[in-house]
Amino acid sequence: MKLKPLIFICFSCFIWCSCNISQNEMRQVVDRGLERAVVQSKLMAKSLWDEKDKLPRTIGKDGKFVTSPARWWTSGFFPGVLWYLYETTADDSLKLYAEDYTWRVRDEQYTTDNHDVGFMLYCSFGNGYRLTGNETYKQILLQGAKSLSTRFRPTVGCIRSWDWNKKVWEYPVIIDNMMNLELLEWASKQSGDSTFAHIAQSHANVTMKHHFRPDYSSYHVVSYDTITGQPEKKNTCQGYAHESSWARGQGWALYGYTMMYRETKNPAYLNQAMNVARFIMNHPRLPEDKIPYWDFDAPDIPNALRDASAGAVMASALIELSQYTEGEFSKQCLSVAETQLKTLTSPEYLAEPGTNCNFILKHSVGNFPGKGEVDVPLTYADYYYVEALVRYKKDILKDMSVSR
């Protein structure tokens, strides 16, 4: 009779120790990833310190470091990395770098000829304002939101994405554009002007209606007829085929609707995010290490290239989504994100100090069909990887320490 309590105690200890080992493992993953990110980012910041018109972008086909001007859509990501690393370390040298590289993007507050103002400004000035309360940053962000809003057409109900290739698309809207809505939601709350929120939610609603297939996979590009407001084409530009599921596009969709639920508490957005997450997490061609192939339908799977940038975007979104959901679904979101972070923090993806032109992650895919930025580091892969690490440290490890 005395064996039962003993067995119960031993079993309980086994569960507690197993859970604790898992927590300790994730702490080590997060610490290792952030430490490496600090080393690489400081080296990167130093390398461009005297070139005030340049920001990191990728590595070219010739193996050489490629930078971008502020006008390029990825210009805000490296400043954002620096702000996240400053947030988690309180290292004043990182703050100095963050301020400098953020200021390089300031003129994009007046950009009206593309939809990437949110990427450019909110990742840089948005994180800066969140951490410092700098009033100048706030005014730049509000002007940026006004500029982005000029691309909204009520007949369509969406913000126009691209102005190029007008012979192919009449009014193209890409799934990536969901990410720029966060700037508008922020601007609405900060300014009291509901117009910004109206535009963001209209865009999210129309995209939810027309961008998704019955299995909740997303097209990359939907072009709209400007007279009727209805879709005239549904394409996938950077994926394998029009009806394929481009991996980073699925990540943008997951992140975008998770963010929109956070900002609005509209259950329709949460439901959409959950359905997109199920498509990703339960997909038979998602590898065991959870870093997706560049397209879920790439014809050469399992030999197809992986996309670290897609994995990083998904991991960050899944960590947040796990906080808004319950039960087995929440656990699955967190488990997949943990596996993604473990994989990205392994030697296969995490660059050694001073290598990889000082980018943090290796093996991302920008535009495979266009033969652009294929199997190289990408500045936005680094951004979402660091964001995911910081989110996990703040939201998950903190909760674990309290629960123990």
H/E stretch holding 82? helix 77-89
Q: Where are the beta strands (DSSP E) in 132-177?
A: 152-153, 158-159, 172-174
Chain centroid, CA 256 distance in Å: 9
CA dihedral 262, 314, 221, 259 (to 10 degrees): 10
Rounded to 10 deg, the angle between the 267-281 and 308-324 helix axes is 130
| Angstrom distance (rounded) from CA 276 to CA 41 | 32
Best CA proximity match to 336, nearest among 244, 398, 254: 254
What the block records as the tokens of 318 is 């899944």
Would you say 67 and 53 are in contact if contact means Cβ atoms under 8 Å apart? no
Q: Which of 62, 100, 176, 295 is catalytic?
A: 176
Best CA proximity match to 304, nearest among 286, 283, 278: 286
116 classed as catalytic: yes
Would you say 121 and 141 are in contact if contact means Cβ atoms under 8 Å apart? yes
What the block records as the tokens of 333 is 């979101």
31 classed as catalytic: no
Location of structure tokens 């997909």: 283
Location of structure tokens 């400007």: 226
| Angstrom distance (rounded) from CA 43 to CA 36 | 11
- Judging by beta carbons within 10 Å of its beta carbon (0-12, 13-18, 19+), is residue 24 exposed, middle or buried? exposed
| Angstrom distance (rounded) from CA 126 to CA 137 | 8
Best CA proximity match to 130, nearest among 167, 183, 172, 89: 183
Q: Is 341 helix (H, G, I), strand (E, B) or coil?
A: helix
Best CA proximity match to 341, nearest among 369, 368, 311: 311
Q: Which of 50, 116, 307, 382 is catalytic?
A: 116
Would you say 240 and 297 are in contact if contact means Cβ atoms under 8 Å apart? yes
Q: Supply the residues annotated as catalytic.
A: 116, 176
